[in-house]
């Protein structure tokens, strides 16, 4: 059996339900150990709709790029809060430098911009952040999902199936 993949998923208040839970469930179907991360361990967050919750297991500063195979960021309102966390931005930069898989969907791209990893890279996501990521040096591609190097991008909720396919291929089969 292949090695278990260790995946971090970031969460905060106002995360997009499906961009977190549909991705989480799909990756659990593969050989993965998923660690839910936030600024502080053992914090419970309500989703954007308020219907679902997620509880962090570790703080960003308690993990490092060497121990993760991938780090995924869901969209929603949470990315606007998460992009201000210096520990998470450092983890994103370290993951990128190590060429580990980083997944961004919808508004999650804000974190790529704040981590300053966008220069001359292609991206997709919510059109609401298109200008921000272009101003950070990225190049907009209007596709449901795609991978460029170690970055996996998803546009919006309806594109989760395509995003999940790209993530599974990148994390488990490439």
Q: Which residues are catalytic?
A: 107
Q: How far is CA 163 from CA 68, 90, 112, 134, 154, in A?
A: 19, 24, 17, 21, 5
Which sign does the torsion angle of CA 41, 43, 44, 45 carry?
negative
**What span, in angstroms and rounded, lies between the C-alpha atoms of 127 and 70?**
25
**What span, in angstroms and rounded, lies between the C-alpha atoms of 19 and 76?**
8
Beta pairing partners, 6: 33
**What span, in angstroms and rounded, lies between the C-alpha atoms of 75 and 119?**
21
Is 71 within 8 Å of 115 (Cβ atoms)?
Answer: no
């Amino acid at each position: 059996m292949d090695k278990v993949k260790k995946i971090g998923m970031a969460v905060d208040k106002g995360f997009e339900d499906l961009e977190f839970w549909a991705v989480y469930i799909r990756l659990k179907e593969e050989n993965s150990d998923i660690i839910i991360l936030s600024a502080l361990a053992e914090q419970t967050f309500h989703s954007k709709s308020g219907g679902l919750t997620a509880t962090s297991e570790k703080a960003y500063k308690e993990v490092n790029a060497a121990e993760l195979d991938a780090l995924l960021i869901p969209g929603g309102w949470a990315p606007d809060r998460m992009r201000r966390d210096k520990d998470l931005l450092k983890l994103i930069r370290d993951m990128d430098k190590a060429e580990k898989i980083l997944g961004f969907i919808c508004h999650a791209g804000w974190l790529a911009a704040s981590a300053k990893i966008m220069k001359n890279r292609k991206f997709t996501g919510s059109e609401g952040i298109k200008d921000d990521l272009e101003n950070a040096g990225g190049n907009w591609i209007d596709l449901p999902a795609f991978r460029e190097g170690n970055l996996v991008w998803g546009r919006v909720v309806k594109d989760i199936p395509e995003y999940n396919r790209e993530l599974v291929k990148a994390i488990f089969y490439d």
